[in-house]
Amino acid sequence: MFNNKEVLVTGGLGFIGSNLCMELVRLGARVTIVDNMLPRQGGNFFNIRDITGKVTVNVSDVRNQLSMNHLVKGKEYVFHLAGQVNHVDSMKNPLQDLEINCQGTLVLLEALRHNNRDAKVIFAGTRGEYGSSVTLPVDEDHPTNPKGIYAVTNLTAEKMVLVYDDVYRIKGTCLRITNTYGPRHQMAHDEYGVFNWFIRKALDDEEIPVFGDGRILRDFLYVDDLVDCMIKVASVEDAYGKVFNVGTGIPVSFFDLAEKIVAIAGTGKTKFTEFTRERKEVEPGDYYADITRITNTTGWQPATSLDEGIARTIDFYRQFRKEYW
């Protein structure tokens, strides 16, 4: 499917983007990465050390019209992962969130409309678009009531992709992705998801802070499974014009997660702590996904158990701690 295909990955130096680029290179694709390398956002050249020289890297911004007009030309697939996904930052600096997630997506889509309507777009959104769960598990018809600005702007970007698919026939598919963990995630702070932060705390033999009573449920997905999902979705024609949940469908409490990390790492300990005001304001409560639609459409299912994913992640950071701490 991807051998000798021209592929653009926005946000390709970040956590998910770099893992995706490695798999695309393995499949024979000719990959171009665009990333603005904003501080604290997770972009890291070390993430692509294994494929340096096999990809083209353009340090630019999806909000830059001149750059995007040039970069989309000749591309057959565009994986759009560039975005602001920090819940807390989106409330502190909502205008930046709006510019990156909405303006950036619109600039990309307009570049495709004027320069390359044959490209296929795979948009990485968030389960945060649903807000607080009304029913569990959450399917794609669940109401969307985002609690944070980042989720509002992701939902808006998703709608833009679907409008351009419908009106301009620029094929687009949208993924609402659950909490993802694994190698190449930034480890400098805990504002992009606490799973990897729990792992850092365990490896540092420190207390793992579990908010509230630790009973909130989440659906945790290993990054390799997400990459496999993106590849499958991109290659299935029936997936375009649609929205899909991506997750495991298996609920795990934060307390059980922390205990499991401590057991596998052999270091660290669990500690209960109060929510910060900023986190409490955007906390949606329990969530786990119904993945029936994506499984029926593409055949994709997650393959990595939680224990296996944690062990792989711990092994990676023990080896490359100095590149991420």
Q: Which domains does the chain have, with CATH numbers?
A: 6-180+219-249+294-298 (3.40.50.720), 184-217+250-290+306-323 (3.90.25.10)
Average pLDDT over residues 301-314: 98
Does residue 308 carry a pLDDT above 80? yes
Q: Which conformational region is residue 222 in: left (phi greater than 0), alpha (psi within -120 to 50 degrees), or beta?
A: beta
Q: Is the pLDDT of residue 280 over 90?
A: no
| pTM passes above 0.85 | yes
User: b/e for 288-298, b at 16 or more Cβ within 10 A?
Assistant: bbbbebbeebb
CB 288 within 8 A of CB 247: yes
pLDDT at 86 over 90: no
- Length, in residues, of the chain: 325
CA 313, 260, 253, 199 torsion: positive or negative? Answer: negative
Q: How far, in Å, CA of 250 to CA of 163, rounded? A: 32
AA identity, residue 156 = T
Query: For the residues 80-90, what does the mean pLDDT come to?
Result: 85
Burial class, 256, CB count within 10 angstroms (exposed 0-12 / middle 13-18 / buried 19+): middle
Q: What pLDDT does residue 276 have?
A: 74
Q: What is the pLDDT of residue 77?
A: 99
User: pLDDT at position 73, please?
Assistant: 98
The tens digit of pLDDT for each residue in 6-45 reads 999 999 999 999 999 999 999 999 999 999 999 888 999 9
Percent of the chain with pLDDT over 90: 89
Question: Which tokens go with 259?
Answer: 């205990």
Q: In this structure, what DSSP letter does residue 289 have?
A: B
Mean pLDDT, range 268-293, rounded to an integer: 87
pLDDT recorded at residue 274? 85
Rounded distance, CA 78 to CA 182, Å?
23
* pLDDT for 212 beyond 80: yes
Do the beta carbons of residue 114 and residue 178 sit within 8 Å? no
Burial of 159 (0-12, 13-18, 19+ CB in 10 A): middle
Q: Determine the Cα–Cα distance for residues 192 and 213; give it in Å rounded to an integer.
A: 21
What would the pLDDT profile of 227-277 be if each residue is shown by its tens digit?
999 999 999 999 999 999 999 999 999 999 999 999 999 999 999 998 777
Considering the chain, what is the average pLDDT of its residues? 95
| Per-residue model confidence as pLDDT tens digits over 88-138 | 778 888 999 999 999 999 999 999 999 999 999 999 999 999 999 999 999
Structure tokens at 225: 């499974």
Q: Is 265 helix (H, G, I), strand (E, B) or coil?
A: helix
Distance CA 292, CA 185 (A): 28
pLDDT-above-70 percentage for the chain? 99
Helix (H, G, I), strand (E, B) or coil at 314: helix
Token pair for residue 191?
């504002």
Other beta carbons within 10 Å of 315: 11
Each residue of 157-171: pLDDT tens digit?
999 999 999 999 999
Q: Which residues contact 132 (CB under 8 A, 6 or more apart)?
A: 145, 147, 284, 285
Q: 3-state class of 44 per DSSP?
A: coil
Beta strands in the chain (DSSP E): 6-10, 30-35, 55-59, 77-80, 120-126, 172-177, 179-181, 207-211, 217-222, 243-246, 251-253, 269-273
